[in-house]
Chain A
Amino acid sequence: MPRVRLSRSRRNSELALLLMAMALVMAYSATVEANLFDTVTADFWVPTALLTALFLGLHLVIRFLAPYADPVLVPAVALLNGLGVAFLRRIDLAKADPEERPDFPIFAGIGGTQLTWTLIAIVLAAGLLFIIRDHRSVSRYAYTLGLAGIVLVMIPAVLPRAYSEINGAKLWILIGGFSIQPGEFAKLALLVFFAYYLVRKREVLSLASRRFLGIDFPRGRDLGPVLVVWVISVLVLIFEKDLGTSLLYFGMFVVTLYVATERVSWLIIGLVLFFGGAFLAYFLGGAFPNSPFANFYVRAEIWLNPFEDPYEKGYQLVQGLLGLGTGGLFGTGPGGGQPLKVPEVQNDFIFAGIGEEIGLFGLSALLVIYLLIVERGLRAAIAVRDSFGKLLAGGLAFTLGLQVFVIVGGISGLIPLTGQTTPFLSAGGSSLMANWLLIAFLLRVSDAARRPVTGVSPRPDNRPAGVPEQLHGAPTEVIRP
Chain B
Amino acid sequence: MNAPLRRVGVVVMILFGLLFANLNWVQGYKADEYRTSDYNGRVQVAEYDRKRGNIEVGGTAVAVSKETSGNLKFLRTYPKGDAYAHVLGYQPVNLAAVGIERSENDFLAGNSDQLFGDRVKDLFTGEQTAGGNVLLSLSRTAQERAFTELANNRAGASKGAAVAIDPKTGAIQALVSMPSFDPNPLTSHSSKEAEAAYQKLEADKNGPLKNRALAETLPPGSTFKVVVAAAALENGYTKDGMIPAGPSYRAPTAGTDIRNAVPSICPESQVTLINALTESCNTGFAQIGVNLGAAKIKEKAREFGFEQENLTCGRLDEGGLPVAASRTGAMQNPDGSEDKAALAQSSIGQNNVRMTPLEGAMIAGAVANGGTQMRPYLVQKLLGPDRTTTHYTAVPRQLRESVSGQVASDLREMMTSVVQNGTGRNARISGYTVGGKTGTAESGAQVDEHGWFIGFVMKGNEPISAVAVMLESTGDGGSAEAARIAAQIMRAVIQDRGGK
Contact = CB atoms under 8 A, between A and B. Distances in A.
Contacts of A394: 1, 5, 8
Interface string A407-425: 0110011100000000000
Contacts of A310: 39
A337 B39 CA distance: 16
Contact of A341 (B9, B19, B26, B41): B41
Interface stretch (B10-18, B237-245, B294-302): B10-18
A327 B27 contact: yes
A209 interface: no
B70 interface: yes
B12 A341 contact: no
B68 to A, nearest CB: 8
B20 A322 contact: no
A363 B28 CA distance: 12
Contact of B1 (A318, A327, A387): A387
Nearest to B4: A259
Nearest to A336: B46
Contacts of A414: 18-19, 22
Contacts of B28: 328-329, 360
B256 to A, nearest CB: 51
Interface in A357-412: 359-360, 363-364, 367, 370-371, 374-375, 378, 381-382, 387, 390-391, 394, 397-398, 401-402, 404-405, 408-409, 412
A391 B70 CA distance: 54
Contacts of B26: 321, 324-325, 412-413
Nearest to A95: B71
Interface string B18-40: 11101110111011111101011
A404 B13 CA distance: 12
Contacts of A324: 23, 26-27, 34
A412 B19 contact: yes
B42 interface: yes
Interface string B442-475: 0000000000000000000000000000000000
Given A371-B16, A398-B8, A322 B2 contact: no
Contacts of A327: 27, 31
B195 to A, nearest CB: 13
Nearest to A262: B4
A409 B18 contact: yes
A380 to B, nearest CB: 10
A338 interface: yes
A255 interface: yes
A428 interface: no
B19 A338 contact: no
Contacts of A307: 39
A465 to B, nearest CB: 20
A334 interface: no
A323 interface: yes
A271 B16 CA distance: 18
A260 interface: yes
B15 A405 contact: yes
B45 interface: yes
B18 A322 contact: no
A62 to B, nearest CB: 24
Interface residues of A, number: 54
B12 A98 contact: no
Given A325-B34, A329-B28, A363-B27, A413 B22 contact: yes
A51 B116 CA distance: 46
A80 to B, nearest CB: 15
B5 to A, nearest CB: 5
Nearest to A380: B5
A318 B34 CA distance: 9
B74 to A, nearest CB: 14
A185 interface: no
B12 A360 contact: no
B495 to A, nearest CB: 45
A324 B22 CA distance: 11
Contacts of A382: 2, 5-6
A99 interface: yes
A326 interface: yes
Contact of A325 (B4, B11, B27, B71): B27
Given A258-B8, A360-B27, A409-B18, 12 more contacts: A255-B8, A260-B1, A324-B27, A326-B31, A328-B27, A329-B28, A371-B16, A375-B9, A375-B12, A378-B5, A382-B2, A398-B12
26 contacts: A98-B69, A262-B3, A310-B39, A318-B39, A322-B42, A325-B31, A328-B28, A328-B31, A328-B35, A338-B41, A360-B23, A360-B27, A363-B23, A363-B27, A367-B16, A367-B20, A371-B13, A371-B16, A374-B12, A375-B9, A394-B5, A401-B15, A404-B19, A405-B16, A408-B19, A413-B22
Interface of A: 94, 98-99, 255, 258-260, 262, 307, 310-311, 318-319, 321-329, 337-338, 341, 355-356, 359-360, 363-364, 367, 370-371, 374-375, 378, 381-382, 387, 390-391, 394, 397-398, 401-402, 404-405, 408-409, 412-414
The 5 closest A-B pairs by CB, nearest first: A325-B34, A360-B27, A322-B40, A328-B31, A401-B12
Interface of B: 1-6, 8-9, 11-13, 15-16, 18-20, 22-24, 26-28, 30-35, 37, 39-43, 45, 68-71
